[in-house]
């Protein structure tokens, strides 16, 4: 579904206060970027580049905000903040989703201050201007005001799309059109897991002291997976490697992965589920990668044995042993869809050196905690993994702040990191030029 925006997005406003010379300097840094190497330090630390990122990436592309499971009933909302933006994502009475800027049209106060909740009309806490769920200003009493036209002061809207239960938002006046093509590709992979019949089992909000690009870079490789002992029980640590690059100490794991892969393919063909890797990370505006890949052990879930963590199958799936359907989307998200649960991840930039990583675990809506799943067991692997990743990201942020830092080479197994950075550099060069 698409909503109409009231006004073009804030293109130019975030970098508008910078001098031409400063913008030229920033553009030159993008032009100088050495292929195959990490970025220069200012990309991770500089306030002006952060402002440019918010304008050129988060202000212009589709951003993953959350899922329908987070707003299951009419009136349910989440607020989503990144950089200077704050949005209200609200389940409306017609069953759709309204995305409204969380900025009061009186003097700009945040209208909703909680990260989630249920609301009827939305009342700004400052002078009680009141908006309906469509964002229309319905009440603004003030002594002596007689000819005040409320119709001119609705909350501003952003674009939205809901695909396979995932909610995407865009602040652009004209959001990238190729998102619809990409959505047609990934919907058949994710659709059978039926997010609309899931509920949130747990959500973790983790502030990482690192630039948003370091968070994304870290997510796009498994070169560091020795640092994830819990995850490595089920996610083959050979991910990202090839026959040529797999090290000898992982030869057994590689063979096990091949066997699990052929078993998974057989199952997918039996159930009519797509599984092929489709990867267009830096060759289109809406960069993405999707695949269905096996898990180790029992092949069902992210547990130590690979065994299911929730007893209830999702959607109309007929088998738990379906590995993980994993998707990477530029600029800020990644996902694992399993037979028994789904995990969504989003990275929301806070400042040049700080990023909020929101992780949400979804289970079948009729799964009962303590009966069908144990919450600690369900969340253990990725809670541990997220903490380990946070440490890696923070180590890199501290390194990037040192005068001794200089860009280092990405290894072959880090090709997706390179693809993410390529995508970022291309998109920003186009924006700044």
Contact yes or no for 202/360 (Cβ under 8 A): yes
Residue 104 is a binding residue for ligand FES (CB under 6 A): yes
End-to-end Cα distance, the chain: 31
Distance CA 200, CA 357 (A): 16
**Cβ density class 260-287: b for 16+ within 10 Å, e for less:** bbeebeebbeeeebbbeeebbbbeebbb
> CB of 109: closest distance to ligand FES in angstroms?
4
User: Which range touches Fe ion (CB under 5 A), out of 40-48, 99-107, 374-382, 384-392?
Assistant: 384-392
Binding test (CB under 5 A) with Fe ion, winner from 389, 410, 421, 424: 389
| 414 near Fe ion, judged by CB under 5 A | no
Q: Measuring CA to CA, which residue among 414, 356, 23 is closest to residue 225?
A: 414
For ligand FES, which stretch binds (CB under 6 A), given 82-90, 103-111, 160-168, 189-197? Answer: 103-111
127 near ligand FES, rule: CB under 6 A: yes
106 binds ligand FES per the rule CB under 6 A:
yes
For the bound state, the minimum distance from the C-beta of residue 222 to Fe ion, rounded and expressed in Å, comes to 7
Q: Which is nearer to Fe ion, 217 or 389 (CB)?
A: 389
- Closest separation in Å from C-beta 200 to ligand FES: 30
Closer residue to Fe ion (CB): 389 or 414: 389
Least CB distance from residue 141 to ligand FES, whole Å?
11
Instruction: List the structure tokens of 310.
Output: 């929730």
If the CB atoms of residues 102 and 286 are measured against ligand FES, the closer one turns out to be: 102
- As measured in angstroms, the least distance from the Cβ of 122 to ligand FES is 10
Residue closer to ligand FES, measured from CB, 11 or 106: 106
The residue among 357, 348, 424 whose CA lies nearest residue 388 is: 357
| Residue 74 near residue 65, CB atoms below 8 Å | no
Is 217 an interacting residue with respect to Fe ion (CB under 5 A)?
Answer: no
Query: Is 138 buried (19+), middle (13-18) or exposed (0-12) by CB count in 10 A?
Result: middle
Strand partners for 409: 37
User: Helix crossing, 212-219 with 415-432: angle to 10°?
Assistant: 150
Q: Which of 5, 88, 124, 396 binds ligand FES (CB under 6 A)?
A: 124
Residue 296 near Fe ion by CB under 5 A? no
Q: Is 200 helix (H, G, I), strand (E, B) or coil?
A: strand
Least distance between Fe ion and beta carbon 349 (Å): 19
Cβ 140 to ligand FES shortest distance, Å:
7
Please enumerate in sequence order all residues whose Cβ is within 8 A of that of 150, keeping only pairs 6 or more positions apart, or say none.
Answer: 136, 137, 138, 140
Q: Could you tell me how many residues make up the chain? A: 433
Among 129, 189, 288, 361, binds ligand FES (CB under 6 A): 129
d(CA 336, CA 329): 12
Between 389 and 418, CB nearer to Fe ion: 389
Query: Applying CB under 6 A, which part among 120-128, 245-253, 260-268, 421-429 lies near ligand FES?
Result: 120-128
* Near Fe ion in 105-134, by CB under 5 A: none
User: Which of the choices ligand FES, Fe ion, none does residue 124 contact, using the CB cut-off of 5 to 8 A by kind?
Assistant: ligand FES
**β-bridge mates for residue 137, sequence order:** 131
**C-alpha–C-alpha distance, residues 288 and 337, integer Å:** 15
Q: State yes or no: residue 410 binds ligand FES (CB under 6 A).
A: no
Judged by the rule CB under 6 A, the positions of this chain that interact with ligand FES are: 104, 106-107, 109, 124, 126-127, 129
């Amino acid at each position: 579904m698409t909503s109409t925006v009231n006004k073009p997005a804030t293109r130019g406003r975030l970098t508008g206060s910078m001098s031409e010379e400063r913008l030229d300097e920033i553009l030159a840094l993008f032009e100088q970027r050495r292929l195959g190497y990490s970025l220069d330090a200012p990309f991770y630390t500089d306030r002006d580049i952060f402002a440019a990122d918010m304008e050129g990436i988060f202000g212009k592309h589709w951003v993953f905000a959350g899922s329908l499971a987070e707003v299951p009933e009419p009136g349910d909302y989440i607020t989503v903040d990144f950089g200077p933006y704050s949005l209200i994502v609200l389940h409306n009475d017609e069953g759709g989703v309204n995305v409204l800027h969380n900025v009061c049209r009186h003097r700009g106060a945040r209208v909703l201050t909680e990260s989630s909740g249920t609301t009827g009309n939305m009342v700004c806490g400052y002078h009680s201007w009141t908006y309906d769920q469509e964002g229309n200003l319905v009440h603004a009493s003030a002594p002596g005001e007689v000819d005040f036209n409320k119709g001119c002061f609705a909350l501003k809207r952003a674009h939205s799309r809901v695909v396979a239960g995932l909610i995407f938002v865009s602040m652009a006046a004209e959001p990238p059109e190729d998102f619809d093509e990409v959505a047609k590709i990934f919907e058949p992979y994710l659709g059978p897991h039926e997010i609309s019949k899931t509920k949130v089992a747990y959500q973790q909000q983790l502030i990482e002291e690192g630039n948003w690009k370091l968070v994304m870079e870290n997510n796009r490789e498994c070169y560091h997976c020795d640092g994830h002992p819990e995850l490595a029980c089920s996610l083959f640590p050979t991910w990202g490697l090839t026959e040529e690059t797999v090290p000898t100490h992982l030869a057994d794991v590689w063979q096990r992965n091949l066997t699990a892969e052929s078993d998974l393919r057989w199952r997918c063909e039996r159930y009519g589920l797509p599984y092929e890797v489709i990867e267009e990370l830096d060759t289109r505006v809406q960069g993405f990668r999707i695949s269905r890949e096996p898990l180790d052990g029992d092949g069902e879930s992210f547990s130590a044995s690979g065994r299911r963590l929730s007893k209830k199958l999702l959607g109309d799936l007929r088998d738990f042993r379906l590995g993980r359907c994993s998707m990477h989307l530029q600029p800020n998200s990644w996902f694992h869809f399993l037979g028994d649960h789904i995990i969504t991840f989003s990275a929301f930039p806070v400042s040049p050196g700080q990023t909020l990583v929101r992780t949400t675990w979804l289970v079948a809506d009729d799964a009962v905690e303590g009966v069908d799943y144990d919450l600690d067991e369900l969340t253990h692997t990725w809670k541990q993994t997220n903490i380990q990743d946070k440490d890696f990201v923070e180590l890199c942020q501290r390194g990037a702040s040192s005068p001794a830092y200089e860009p280092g080479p990405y290894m072959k197994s880090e090709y997706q990191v390179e693809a993410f950075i390529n995508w970022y550099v291309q998109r920003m060069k186009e924006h700044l030029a």
